[in-house]
């Protein structure tokens, strides 16, 4: 498996519109799109920064994974996503190396990506996402 780049940093926020004020008005970043990913119960804003992105994640359901994350840990960095060429092959390689996977097969992610998450217990406490998408 070859990691091509840091694809994005996922940041859990309680209120996407309020959070955007900081990233746009203070940092000067541009929100290029927003999307609701029903499968993951999340509303996402995409803010490119050079060759990577900040993804702001707001839960659309009080029982969704982002809402649960915020309840447990508060707002903040929720995951790091690494771009790979082939997410299916990356999942298999991670398993061969003893990594515990949350996703045994890819699922749909924001921005049309195929994604899979590695369990934080295998990655020193960080939720790691493997992401495959076209540039």
CA pair distance 36, 40, nearest whole angstrom: 9
The DSSP secondary structure of the chain, one letter per residue, reads --EEEEEEEEEEES-HHHHHIIIIIIT-----EEEEEGGGTEEEEEEEETTEEEEEEEESSTTSHHHHHHHHH-SEEEEEEEEES-HHHHHHHHHHTT--BS-SS-EE-GGG-EEEEE-GGGTTT--EEEEE---
How far apart CA 134 and CA 50 sit, in angstroms, is: 17
Question: How many domains, in total, are found in the chain?
Answer: 1
Give mean pLDDT, residues 119-131. 96
Q: What is the pTM of this model?
A: 0.93
**At residue 54, does pLDDT exceed 70?**
yes
Domain that holds residue 19: 3-132
Q: What is the pLDDT of residue 134?
A: 80
User: For residue 86, what is the domain's CATH number?
Assistant: 3.10.180.10
> Residue 135 pLDDT more than 80?
no
Share of the chain above pLDDT 90, in %: 96
pLDDT tens, residue by residue, 75-115: 999 999 999 999 999 999 999 999 999 999 999 999 899 99
């Amino acid at each position: 498996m070859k990691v091509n780049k840091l694809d994005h940093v996922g940041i859990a926020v309680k209120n996407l519109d309020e959070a955007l004020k900081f990233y746009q008005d203070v940092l000067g970043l541009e929100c290029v799109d927003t999307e609701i990913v029903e499968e993951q119960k999340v509303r996402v804003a995409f803010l490119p920064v050079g060759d990577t992105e900040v993804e702001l994640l707001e839960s659309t359901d009080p029982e969704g994974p982002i809402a649960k994350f915020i309840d447990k840990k508060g707002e903040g960095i929720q995951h790091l996503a690494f771009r790979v060429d082939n997410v299916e092959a990356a999942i298999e390689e991670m398993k061969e190396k003893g990594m515990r996977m949350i996703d045994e097969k890819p699922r749909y992610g924001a921005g049309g990506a195929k994604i899979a998450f590695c369990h934080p217990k295998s990655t020193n406490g960080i939720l790691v996402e493997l992401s495959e998408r076209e540039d």
